[in-house]
Amino acid sequence: MSASVSTPAPALPLRPARRAPRRLVLGGIALTAALLVAGAYMPKWLTFLITMAASHGLVSLGIVLMMRGGVVSFGQGLVFALGAYAAALAYTRLGITDALGLALLGGAVATLGVAPFAPLLSRYRGIFFAMLTLALSMVVFGVLTKTEALGGSDGFNMGRVTVFGQKLADGHVGYVLYSVTVVVAAVLALLARVYFDSTRGLLTLAVRENELRVEYLGGSVRRAMAINFVLAAFAGGTGGALVVMSLGHIDPNFSYWTTSGEFVFVAILAGWQSVLAVFIASTVLEVVRSFSSLYFPNTWQLSLGLFLLFVIRFLPRGIGSLWIGRTGSARSAEKPR
Amino acid sequence: MNLAATILIDGLTYASWLFIVALGLTLVFGVLKILNIAHGSFYALGAYAAASFVGWFATLKFAPGWSIVALLLAAVAVAALVAPLTERGLLRFFYGRDEVLLVLVTYALFLILEDVTKLIWGANPYYVSAPYSLFGNVEIGPQVYVGYDFLLVGLALVVGIAVWWGLNRTRQGKIVLAVIHSAEIASSMGINVSRVYMLAFSIGIFLAAIGGAFTAPMISVQPGVSVGVIIVSFAVVIIGGLGSIEGAAVGALIVGLARSLAVHLAPVAELFSIYIVMAAVLMVRPEGLFQQTQARKI
């Protein structure tokens, strides 16, 4: 913090000084490895909690991706449900049991499922974007609830997945799924960071600042928004597939608006600057959820709501702003001339 | 022919209920620029308060006819208690922030109120049956309808005309319109803008609560009442255009008819018919059917 004051502010760099991508990758790998090792010693409830946090975090990562362009999707439960249903159906109907394959399949199906809407949605901003995504997710919710072949409102169960052709023993299944989830989430998180720092990723930030200016400078705002939406769908679908593998059960509530609301909650809590913050925020939500439903089951939504208000009021740029973008925030606080 | 009449009447009663709730939502958005997720919670509060008030009236041995008054009083009580608390205590700190962020503030409020209603009224369902039987049955052709359903239609008409008249034909209404147009200029003309916000928000909550109170006799009042209402009333105001009274009326009719068509002709589509209409309108006319397209501001 103090460093930014003492050093003279450089001219606005086109790329944020290429923050040593190698260091970033190494740091990511180290963190993942540490989580994998630690996971072997964690109690079961904790590995499950982190599995849920990481897989749900992927969906919120998608929202953060769009938030960087200034739009928030209130219907991300749609891609979450698409990915999860795709994985569960591929398991029960097609006999695909490989965890990694199912995760990728979930992401792919969600991407293909919403891709036709991307060009349309790229025209929408603010409340209209939020409402249209919300409407689409609620249509899917309605369809899923009424489709008896998919278990209707009760959903259906799926069995235990395999990893690299290996069946999972009772004692190991939790840890293995935890490892798979952590690794997949880490890979996608790194890719997200790379994308954030790429030209299009930075263009997205510019859209947030001033859309018209981007157009005048020759950038395509709509293409950037469409691509962000599709990438977010992939992350969300993968997250959904990972969740259903660990839960072993799926129902239409995956697509309900309150589910989407929780994803937005995490995204707002995280802020749009840091990828790591998304997963921290997601873990915070899971911790609050499990502990309050254990100790004060009647007031956990109350605490969640107060917490959210607190964050919006006092930490409007999310917890990511605690360690990133102090200098950036000072710069963007300047009024555009 | 009978089927058409049934669909029409079902659609109309459902639309009346929708209109009352959505009118409050659209009014609050028009004035405060807040798309209020907690609107459903105020609706639920109205329903719960109605359960309590009707219960008290019954123990005080009022004639059953008074239960309608109890419903009204419940809505007034909710608006008088909750509106100042939320507007002064919470929302005013967030005015002028991004619209989507404001949606999240009300989402937080929704989460809080969900638990607050559970803490006050518990998780068991309440039944407010007294007012429902007051109006007997109405026979239309071979079909028998409950008279109470038509009370809702009347209430919707009264409420709609009252709000329209209040906004367009009274001094206070003109002031509200001025604030909607530009809060800044209105305040420089000496209008107390925060009082207008307060007023509009209170009326909005009152409309949500009265919708809840008058629906209470038709349903079992239990946790989860709020969740279902929110998105449906969103659909109505989006279809009609945010902030437009006529839009809310037409939106309610469209949604009401779409739902009753689905219920009678294609029950599978009941749940999502509403959202398909909502998505379709957003795709074709994102500003809603009754809103003029706004020029892009630079």
Helix (H, G, I), strand (E, B) or coil at A249: strand
Q: Which is more confidently placed, B145 or A37?
A: A37
Rounded Cα–Cα distance for residues A245 and A180 (Å): 10
CB contact under 8 A, A134 and B234: yes
Task: Give the pLDDT confidence score for residue B42 in this predicted structure.
Answer: 95
Helices B67-89 and B193-215 pack at an angle, to 10 degrees, of 140
User: What percent of chain B is modeled with pLDDT above 90?
Assistant: 44
Distance from CA of A175 to the nearest CA of B (A): 33
Domain ranges (residues) in chain A: 21-257
Asked if B289 contacts B239 with a C-beta cutoff of 8 angstroms, the reply is: yes
Instruction: Please report residues of B whose CB lies closer than 8 A to that of A265.
Output: 104, 107
Asked if B275 contacts B45 with a C-beta cutoff of 8 angstroms, the reply is: no
Task: Give the pLDDT confidence score for residue A308 in this predicted structure.
Answer: 87
Number of H helices, E strands in chain B: 11, 4
CB contact under 8 A, A142 and B112: no
- Assign B192 a pLDDT band (cuts: 50, 70, 90): very high
User: What percent of chain B is modeled with pLDDT above 70?
Assistant: 97
What is the CATH architecture assignment of B2-284?
Answer: Orthogonal Bundle (1.10)
- Assign B1 a pLDDT band (cuts: 50, 70, 90): low
Rounded Cα–Cα distance for residues A54 and A238 (Å): 11
CB contact under 8 A, B93 and A313: yes
Task: Give the pLDDT confidence score for residue A327 in this predicted structure.
Answer: 44
Residues of A with CB under 8 A from a CB of B: 71-72, 74, 120, 124, 126-128, 130-132, 134-136, 138-143, 145-146, 212, 257-258, 261, 264-265, 268, 298-302, 304-306, 308-309, 312-313, 316
Rounded Cα–Cα distance for residues B131 and B231 (Å): 27
Asked if B202 contacts B22 with a C-beta cutoff of 8 angstroms, the reply is: no
Residue B275 touches chain A, beta carbons under 8 Å: yes
Region of A318 please: left (phi>0), alpha (psi -120 to 50) or beta.
Answer: left
- Phi, psi for residue B138 in degrees, rounded to 5: -120, 125
ipTM above 0.90, yes or no: no
Rounded Cα–Cα distance for residues B108 and B37 (Å): 9
Helix (H, G, I), strand (E, B) or coil at B139: strand
Q: Is the pTM of this model over 0.90?
A: no
Distance from CA of B115 to the nearest CA of A (A): 6
Domain ranges (residues) in chain B: 2-284
Instruction: Please report residues of B whose CB lies closer than 8 A to that of A132.
Output: 279, 282-283, 286
Distance from CA of B205 to the nearest CA of A (A): 20
Q: Which is more confidently placed, A173 or B209?
A: B209
Distance from CA of A64 to the nearest CA of B (A): 14
CB contact under 8 A, A146 and B270: yes
